[in-house]
């Protein structure tokens, strides 16, 4: 967020009329005619003519493929300049870290692959580390997709290909054999396929209410990993349920002269008061207050009533993730009006999706709204304080869109680069099934299930694609590392 006078906060649901983004169900037709399940299944099987399942096995870069270093450098041009070297340092650390940060590179590659013509709401960045656990509104610990910065409607297979490629790349980082990696990818793809068949046979409400809880993971997945893995899982759950606003406040704030303020831990956490001089900091804080005021209007009445019982106290810039490093990401410290109860909100910039040049721009004029609407379509349960806002400072820097949510709410994530072969295969199954559930909520699950079929043809294609793209990712990581070494790319932690 620029140091500028407070501008206008625009959180209204304005939409571009140029590109439709209606839920891509495929039924009923525009004239209102309902399409039967049989017709939808025929449509899915018919898509095999245009894109045979075996065709998804192939990955080969075309002669006009752009240099991945150029794509990432171009993407970095809109980021906070002093944080770009940190992002580069995180990405160059390993091929898997590079893959996490290079969604823009893979988006361009996926656009050249065969398409079934069966759209869903895409996560857009469905790799293994973008799944995890968090608290549902009823205070159950659930597992789901948890990153939607790139969400946009598009071909369902793009998400699946990114997921299986991440399994192969993570498997290489762990030193798994070719056979072990292939087994993990096959298990992931099979879980997506069987999940889609499961949802194709379910009713609309049953699909919508479906979710994965901690007990489901224990019963369906963790038990297969053995007693040691289950004990480790239970410890993670116990730890996750303490990771809330109170814990975040204890780690990220301190009390000075009886009031809360954000701590300083540069470059990861830098309070507004340190980023700017006193006068500019006051102007930035005024802008943040205005942004939060606009954000409240995007919440439903009851949730708006809840957030209005908190008031703004302080804010800091906070570095998040790998691919997101350099975007304008803030933590706003709120406290309860009566008892000083802390609440930390993540205010994260939303740029256009990396898929937009290939799948079409969003109908939502506000990119924060795009993220929120996509998240609510894909997730079984979303943060009760999830919303969006826009700030247009009068200093000529242009508008910045943001999505807002609680910083921590029982957050748990798997350490992918420490998993054994067996636990990665099980985790891949969990992610594959969860991705199918998200796609089934937004797309034609009957047509997709019919396309996939009940055999393993698509699974085998995904195993071949995953290895081929893991090779490409290693080459791209090597190019990126070379650019760091010769000084073309600045990478400083």
Q: For the whole model, what pTM was predicted? A: 0.89
Taking CA atoms, 387 is separated from 11, 108, 133, 332, in Å, by 9, 29, 20, 14
Q: What whole-number percentage of the chain has pLDDT above 70?
A: 86
The answer to whether 355 and 148 have CB atoms below 8 angstroms apart is: no
Q: What is the separation of C-alpha 297 from the centre of its chain, rounded to a whole number of angstroms? A: 24
Q: Is a pLDDT exceeding 60 seen at residue 109?
A: yes
DSSP-derived secondary structure letter, 33: P
What angle do the packed helices 84-92 and 68-76 form, to 10 degrees?
A: 150
Report the DSSP beta bridge partners of residue 404: 347, 387
Q: Is a pLDDT exceeding 80 seen at residue 15?
A: no
The answer to whether 115 and 448 have CB atoms below 8 angstroms apart is: no
Which residue did the predictor score with more confidence, 415 or 187?
Answer: 187
Residues in the chain: 493
pLDDT digits (tens, 9 = 90+) for 392-401: 654 556 788 9
CA–CA distance, 271 with 290 (Å, rounded to integer)? 18
Phi-psi sector, 210: left (phi>0), alpha (psi -120 to 50), beta: beta
pLDDT digits (tens, 9 = 90+) for 322-350: 777 868 888 999 999 987 888 999 999 99
Domain coordinates in residue numbering, the chain: 8-15+243-406, 48-239+417-485
Q: What is the separation of C-alpha 405 from the centre of its chain, rounded to a whole number of angstroms? A: 13
- Buried-exposed string 427-441: b where 16+ CB fall within 10 A, e elsewhere: bbbbbbbbbbbbbbb
> Where is average pLDDT lowest: 68-72, 321-325, 459-463, 466-470?
321-325
Give the three-state DSSP class for 391.
Answer: strand
What ranges make up the beta strands (E) of 115-272?
Answer: 119-122, 131-135, 141-145, 152-155, 212-213, 253-256, 259-262, 269-271
pLDDT digits (tens, 9 = 90+) for 21-32: 444 444 556 556
Which residue did the predictor score with more confidence, 462 or 17?
Answer: 462
């Amino acid at each position: 967020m620029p140091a500028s006078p407070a501008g206008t906060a625009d959180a209204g649901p304005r939409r571009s009329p140029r590109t439709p983004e209606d839920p891509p169900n495929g039924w009923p037709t525009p004239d209102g005619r309902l399409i039967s399940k049989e017709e939808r299944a025929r449509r899915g099987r018919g898509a095999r003519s245009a894109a045979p399942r075996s065709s998804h096995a192939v990955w080969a870069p075309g002669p006009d493929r752009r240099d991945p270093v150029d794509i990432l450098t171009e993407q970095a041009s809109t980021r906070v300049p002093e944080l770009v070297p940190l992002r580069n340092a995180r990405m160059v650390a390993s091929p898997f870290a590079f893959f996490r940060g290079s969604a823009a590179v893979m988006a361009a590659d996926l656009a050249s692959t065969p398409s079934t013509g069966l759209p869903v709401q895409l996560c857009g960045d469905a790799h293994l580390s973008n799944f995890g656990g968090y608290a549902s509104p009823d205070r159950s610990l659930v597992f789901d997709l948890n990153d939607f910065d790139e969400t946009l409607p598009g071909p369902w297979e793009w998400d699946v290909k990114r997921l299986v490629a991440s399994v192969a790349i993570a498997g290489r980082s762990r030193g798994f054999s070719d056979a072990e990696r292939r087994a993990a990818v096959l298990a992931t793809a099979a879980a997506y396929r069987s999940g889609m068949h499961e949802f194709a046979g379910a009713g609309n409400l049953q699909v919508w209410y479906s979710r994965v809880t901690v007990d489901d993971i224990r019963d369906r997945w963790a038990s297969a990993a053995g007693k040691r893995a289950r004990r480790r899982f239970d410890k993670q759950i116990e730890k996750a349920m303490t990771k809330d606003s109170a814990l975040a406040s204890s780690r990220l704030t301190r009390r000075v002269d009886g009031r809360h303020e954000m701590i300083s831990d540069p470059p990861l956490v830098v309070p507004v008061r340190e980023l700017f001089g006193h006068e500019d900091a006051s102007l930035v804080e005024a802008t943040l207050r205005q942004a939060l005021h606009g954000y409240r209007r995007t919440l439903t009445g009851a949730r708006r009533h809840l957030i209005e019982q908190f008031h703004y106290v302080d804010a800091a810039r906070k570095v998040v993730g790998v691919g997101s490093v350099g975007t304008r990401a803030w933590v706003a410290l709120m406290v309860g009006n009566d008892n000083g109860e802390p609440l930390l909100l993540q205010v994260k910039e939303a740029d256009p999706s990396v898929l937009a040049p290939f799948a079409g721009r969003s109908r939502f004029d506000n990119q924060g709204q795009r993220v929120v609407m996509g998240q609510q379509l894909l997730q079984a349960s979303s943060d009760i304080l999830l919303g969006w806002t826009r700030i247009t400072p009068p200093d000529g820097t242009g508008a910045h869109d943001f999505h807002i949510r609680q910083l921590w709410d029982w957050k748990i994530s798997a350490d992918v680069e420490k998993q054994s072969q067996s636990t990665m295969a099980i985790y891949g199954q969990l992610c594959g099934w969860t991705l199918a559930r998200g796609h089934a909520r937004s797309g034609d699950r009957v047509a997709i299930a019919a396309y996939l079929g009940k055999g393993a043809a698509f699974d085998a294609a995904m195993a071949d694609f995953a290895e081929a793209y893991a090779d490409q990712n290693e080459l791209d990581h090597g190019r990126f590392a070379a650019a760091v070494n010769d000084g073309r790319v600045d990478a400083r932690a």
